[in-house]
Amino acid sequence: MAAAAASLLLLQCVVTMLAGAATADAQYSAQTFADLQNAARADVGVAPLAWDDTLAGYAQRYAGERKGDCKLVHSDGPYGESIFWGNKGGNWTASDAVALWVQEKQYYNCSDGSCAAGKICSHYTQIVWANTTRVGCAAVACDGNLGTFILCEYDPRGNVPGVRPYAGCGQFNRSAQSSPQDFLNLQNAARAGVGVGMLSWDSTVAAYAEGYAEKRKGDCRKVSSGGPYGENIFQGGTGISWTVSDALFSWLGEKQKYDCASNACKEGQACGEYTQLVWANSTRVGCASVTCEGGGTFITCNYDPPGNIAGERPYLGCGGQAGGTPPPTSDKVNGTAANGNGNGSNANSSNPRRNGSSPAILPIVLPVVTILGLISAISIYIWIKRPSPKKTLSYTACSEDIEDIKSVLLDPSVIRTATSNFSEENKLGEGGFGQVYKGMMPDGQEIAVKRLSEGSKQGLPELKNELLLVAKLQHRNLVKLIGACLDGEDKLLVYEYIPKKSLDAFIFGTGVSSLFLILSKPWIEKY
């Protein structure tokens, strides 16, 4: 039973790390960064961006440089660049950064390619720049609780003087941009960023939204329908081709006006659209969009069950954000600009149970408790039934026995980039344990990556044992252990690459190499 208890504790540690990794991956995944920006590009008829690991690696390195101060300072590198800073405690994600950049659309005059006086449009124009085809992004939580630094790199770079970001200012196939999937994609990306379940499209709710949108077609007024659902409304003025993503980015932009610590909008500001959008207990949505008779656009989404219930929270946890902190800001070449609303304004979310200006917020404790209970029950059963090994390691805590290991944090994408996504050209060999690949780290360091196959008999316990043993042993002929790296189902060991060398040359020759295993963020964080 002692062995089973120790194993269970280890499994629970891994499960906890997996849960944290899933949230982080959802917030900053390549897919999230690309999808959000490609939605804005689709709005103006521009081809989608492709994710580029080289650009992402550059972004990751520069984010590391800004980790100590979180300053809005550009890298002045060879790529187009947009940078974002969110204040401490805000739980800022990819969707927040992209929303801030895309909201600059309201200041951009497509007819003459100009930007409104005193405003910045260059983040938006870089995102929709037609000749830009590749993007790579990164994010870092800054030291000293200074907030979050997020950036994206673009190649070829945009904002070329005298050149328009894209051709024409038409409607760009608006029907395709008002599909249920278009409405769902961006809202669910924002919900994933705060760990909330996905919305599903509901035809009954959508029919209600369509009926009300038709009523507003004649005047385009931002007036609540007063119906049984939660409701977000967006009204875009004349002269701009407003789309679904404009409405959703506008609602998402209200996040900076919401003080999670006090569960209220900041004084004199509205944040009901944001809290309704991420309301955990709302599971169904239906939306509609119309071009108004006098010009402009009216877009509405209805939610069931309605959110913004007085005294409740939209989602569980908020990272201790304090009231009165500055809003997120972004900077690109011509200065720093705070997020704001202009022609693309919106109405406060409305439903009969709303309490004044304070948004309602509802945690989803029961599903979380249920899932954790099931995991614990299954884990206990599996590990009790497992035969006890003849000799076990003592795990009094997740890390006490291997506290000597000094881990190096590195995103799994860096290893994939270094090995060209484990390409056949980079394969050095393979055996019963898996394959070995040659790679090149961003700093020029050559590496050999041992990738354990799914069928390998070497699992997490064996890897932990190896970490313990190597960490405790010190000898000139034994390589020094620094950390470990797991990537999804993969277990990766990363060595310094030794070209055309043998074991005897390694032990007795010059330039003795060292072993380092790289720790990925979702895994064994610190020993």
Residues listed for the chain? 527
Strand partners, 165: none
Q: Letter for the amino acid at 455? A: G
Helix (H) or strand (E) holding 38: helix 30-43
Distances (CA, A) of 354 to 226, 238, 252, 266, 336: 11, 31, 19, 17, 35
The interaxial angle of helices 180-193 and 2-28, nearest 10 deg, is: 130
Q: Kind of pairing, strands 134-141 and 50-51?
A: parallel
Is 302 in contact with 289 (CB distance < 8 Å)? no
d(C-alpha 26, C-alpha 3), whole Å? 35
Token reading at 73: 């300072």
- What does the buried/exposed string (b/e) look like for 138-163 if buried means 16 or more CB atoms within 10 Å of the residue's CB? bbbebeeebbbbbbbbbbebbbeeee
427 is an annotated ligand-binding site residue: no
371: left (phi over 0), alpha (psi -120 to 50) or beta: alpha
Token reading at 214: 């038709």
d(C-alpha 285, C-alpha 307), whole Å? 11
d(C-alpha 246, C-alpha 235), whole Å? 10
What values do phi and psi take at 352, rounded to 5?
Answer: -60, -25
d(C-alpha 302, C-alpha 209), whole Å? 6
Q: Letter for the amino acid at 516? A: F
Give yes or no for a cis peptide into 156 (omega within 30° of 0).
yes
Q: Letter for the amino acid at 254? A: E
Is 189 in contact with 291 (CB distance < 8 Å)? no
Q: Letter for the amino acid at 394? A: S
Token reading at 226: 């007063």
Q: How far apart, in Å, do the first and last CA atoms of the chain sit? A: 26
Is 398 in contact with 13 (CB distance < 8 Å)? yes
Is 121 in contact with 34 (CB distance < 8 Å)? no
d(C-alpha 30, C-alpha 51), whole Å? 7
Q: Letter for the amino acid at 171? A: Q
Q: In 10 A of CB 501, how many CB atoms?
A: 12
Helix, strand, coil percentages (3-state) for the chain, rounded to 5, are 35, 20, 45
Task: Write out the binding residues.
Answer: 450
Query: Binding site membership for ATP: which residues?
Result: 450
